[in-house]
């Protein structure tokens, strides 16, 4: 399956494959969480995400674009088809994500990329103290069945 291959490449590149766990695994959507062994500085979280998209030959999208909002809506619908979630889709909630991590005393960065008919959302975060690992979460979505 294409989503698993892409997720495996990303987790491998971030040295986060070992011990990673799928939070959701369907035919169209894969959500994976893990801890990276890499020691990346907070200011390098964004450039690391950009490099991952370059290495995948994926087009990195502007997080504030209509295209990204449309992809977030599709991913949300895929998740809601598997899990009962109360409330409406909030595509702007993703933009508040960084603030949430900062409130929890973490550095965080995220990005959205498009590789053919697969959308990839990556978020990296780590404690502001510099102690502990960097955490990785991926949402890899097949846009066509």
pLDDT tens for residues 11-47?
A: 999 999 888 899 999 989 999 999 999 989 999 999 9
Domain containing residue 121 = 2-142
pLDDT of residue 97: 79
The overall average pLDDT reported for the chain is 89
With vertex at residue 115, the alpha carbon angle to CA 109 and CA 116, rounded to the nearest 5 degrees, is 155
HEC sequence for 25-56: ECCCEEEEEEEECCCCCHHHHHHHHHHHHHHH
Give the pLDDT of residue 92: 67
Structurally, the chain folds into a number of domains equal to 1
Band (86; pLDDT cuts 50, 70, 90):
low
Q: Which residue has the higher pLDDT, 42 or 89?
A: 42
pLDDT category at 90 given cuts 50, 70, 90 is low
Q: What does the pLDDT average to over 116-140?
A: 92
Q: Is 142 exposed, middle or buried (0-12, 13-18, 19+ CB in 10 A)?
A: buried
pLDDT at residue 79, as a whole number: 86
pLDDT of 12: 95
Q: What's the confidence (pLDDT) of residue 16?
A: 94
pTM: 0.90
Measured CA to CA, the distance from residue 125 to residue 77 in angstroms comes to 25
């Amino acid at each position: 399956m294409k989503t698993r291959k892409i997720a495996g490449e990303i987790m491998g590149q971030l040295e986060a494959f070992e011990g990673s766990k799928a939070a959701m695994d369907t035919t169209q959507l894969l959500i994976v969480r893990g801890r990276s062994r890499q020691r990346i500085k907070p200011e390098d979280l964004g450039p690391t995400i950009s490099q991952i998209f370059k290495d995948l030959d994926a087009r990195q999208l502007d997080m504030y674009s209509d295209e990204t909002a449309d992809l977030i809506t599709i991913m949300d619908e895929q998740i809601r088809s598997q899990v009962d979630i109360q409330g409406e889709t909030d595509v702007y909630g993703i933009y508040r994500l960084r603030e949430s991590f900062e409130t929890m005393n973490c550095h965080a960065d995220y990005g959205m990329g498009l590789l053919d008919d697969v959308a990839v959302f990556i978020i990296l975060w780590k404690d502001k103290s510099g102690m502990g690992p960097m955490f990785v979460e991926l949402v890899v979505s097949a846009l066509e069945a």
